[in-house]
């Protein structure tokens, strides 16, 4: 059974989302498209929260979000427990987001990437593992619930 990858965007990321969904299918992933379904104006949070909830509950291991800058999607997604949404603009950042931060949601700034670059970033994100070790301790600190003094 292939891994399920949910993908969602607002209007600014719609066209790129469609292209990346096709890329995912071509590479053997099962795609769960959570919208938006057109380039008509829409609110990023309406799409970020359902995807982040799936990751937070452990229903899927990782997901992909797109909006104009990536920032709005990341802000909304990172409000969910156990979600580490990373805004990524290069393959190198994708690699380190996985290796060092165990990012589980890739957020792409659709207005600032070519489809080719986005596909390459997605490929690196999906094929790179978490290094663990000293990075695991740091990632665990993200999940802390008690305030610091």
Which residues are marked as active site?
A: 67, 100
Omega of the bond leading into 36 within 30 degrees of 0 (cis): yes
Question: Other CB atoms closer than 10 Å to residue 143's CB: what's the count?
Answer: 9
């Amino acid at each position: 059974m292939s891994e399920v990858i949910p993908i969602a965007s607002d209007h600014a990321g719609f066209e790129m989302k469609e292209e990346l969904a096709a890329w995912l299918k071509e590479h053997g992933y099962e795609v769960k498209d959570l919208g938006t379904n057109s380039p008509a104006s829409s609110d990023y949070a309406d799409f970020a929260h359902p995807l982040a909830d799936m990751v937070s509950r452990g229903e899927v291991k990782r997901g992909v979000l797109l909006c104009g800058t990536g920032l709005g999607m990341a802000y909304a997604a990172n409000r969910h427990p156990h979600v580490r949404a990373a805004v990524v603009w290069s393959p190198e950042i994708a690699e380190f987001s996985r290796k060092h931060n165990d990012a589980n949601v890739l957020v792409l700034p659709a207005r600032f990437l070519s489809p080719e670059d986005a596909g390459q970033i997605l490929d690196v994100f999906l094929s790179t593992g978490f290094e663990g070790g000293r990075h695991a301790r740091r990632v665990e600190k993200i999940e802390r619930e008690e305030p610091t003094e």
